Amino acid sequence: MRRGLPALAGLLLIAGGVAGCTGATDDRPLVVVTTNILGDVVGELVGDQAEVRTLMPPGADPHSFEVSAQEAARMREADLLVANGLGLEEGLLAHVEAARDDGVPVVEAGDAVDPVQWVSEDDSGLDPHFWTDPQQVLAVVDELSVALAEHVDGIDRDRLAAGTERYRGEVAELDVWMSAQFAQIPADRRELVTDHHVFGYLADRFGLTVVGAVIPSGSTLASPSAGDLEELARTIRAAGVRTVFADSAQPDRLVEVLAEHAGVDVAVVPLFTESLTADGGGADTYLRMMRANTEAIVGGLR
């Protein structure tokens, strides 16, 4: 089953193309948020008490989206600037620093996270994709709530506390539900074979192992050799799973050639990774994104 486009596929990156940009004046305090996942979380906490401006368009890539000069100016006027941190928003670093230099309070979600590290042949870094573990998000919610109360004048703290309490409950409920869902996966099928690099926190939290998969290039699928598929087939066999979680432009063709040339019978299922979708796209809120991914993973591995 295909759940609509995966986060990175098929989207138009349009400079400054932030939805809902209006010239209307708004006398509420302004909270500017870099990523749409955090924008959703902040909106849940403050309700209509502040104008929450999310810079990253639905379906965009947090590593590379950019903002218009007008939005950069608004970042510097914000009462609070919320960023993911841990190196996620590379394209915005200069703007975040400019705002900070102007005295705008900046809260980075990554500061509240207990980070995991990635290491490769000749590089390493902290994994910024904390949201795949709801426990980390709970810590971030607490951090954001404190920052909103401290820096955003005019917010009713009782209403903020109530909003925080309610949303905390929903994330905690998500965490319990996810735990129960993932518990259904048998012990010998807990390997997440994927080309996504964002599920490290989720795997740690719910006792899965992420196995990196190299998805054969689209240019090889027209006339594949066994060698093109060998590494993926070996990975799949070693993991003993029947589902690969990957973005492929030609998932049906990939399934077909894996069966034909490598004797491997698998489904290829996309997941939502780094961005919420537009409304109705299957992952238009953080909670819906997590539930959709959980159902896809559990359904694929169980």
Q: Which of 138, 271, 268 is nearest to 197 (CA)?
A: 271
Task: Give the nearer residue to another protein in terms of CB position, either 159 or 189.
Answer: 189
Number of other CB atoms surrounding residue 301 within 10 Å: 22
Q: For strand 106-108 and strand 243-245, is the pairing parallel, antiparallel, or unpaired?
A: unpaired
Task: Give the nearer residue to another protein in terms of CB position, either 162 or 214.
Answer: 214
Contacts to another protein from residues 181-210, by CB under 8 A: 194-197, 200, 203-204, 209-210
Cα–Cα dist 133/178, whole Å = 10
Does residue 71 touch another protein according to CB under 8 A?
Answer: no
Q: Which of 80, 96, 79 is nearest to 88 (CA)?
A: 96
Does residue 85 touch another protein according to CB under 8 A?
Answer: no
Does residue 57 touch another protein according to CB under 8 A?
Answer: no
CA distances from 268 to 27, 173, 218, 247 (A): 48, 29, 14, 8
Q: Which of 160, 198, 261, 220 is nearest to 62 (CA)?
A: 198
Contact string 231-270 vs another protein (x = CB under 8 A):
x---x--xx-------xxxx--------------------
Q: Compute the least distance from the CB of residue 154 to another protein, in Å.
A: 32
Tell me how many residues contact another protein (CB under 8 A): 64
Cα–Cα dist 243/265, whole Å = 9
Q: Compute the least distance from the CB of residue 292 to another protein, in Å.
A: 18
Report DSSP state, residue 280: T
Given 9, 162, 176, 259, the residue binding another protein (CB under 8 A): 9
Given 154, 227, 240, 263, the residue binding another protein (CB under 8 A): 227
Given 44, 127, 133, 175, the residue binding another protein (CB under 8 A): 127
Q: Six-digit token pair at 295?
A: 């159902």
Q: Six-digit token pair at 160?
A: 């903020």
**Contact residues for another protein, defined by CB under 8 A:** 6, 8-15, 61, 63-64, 66, 87, 90-91, 93-94, 114-125, 127, 194-197, 200, 203-204, 209-220, 222-223, 225-228, 231, 235, 238-239, 247-250
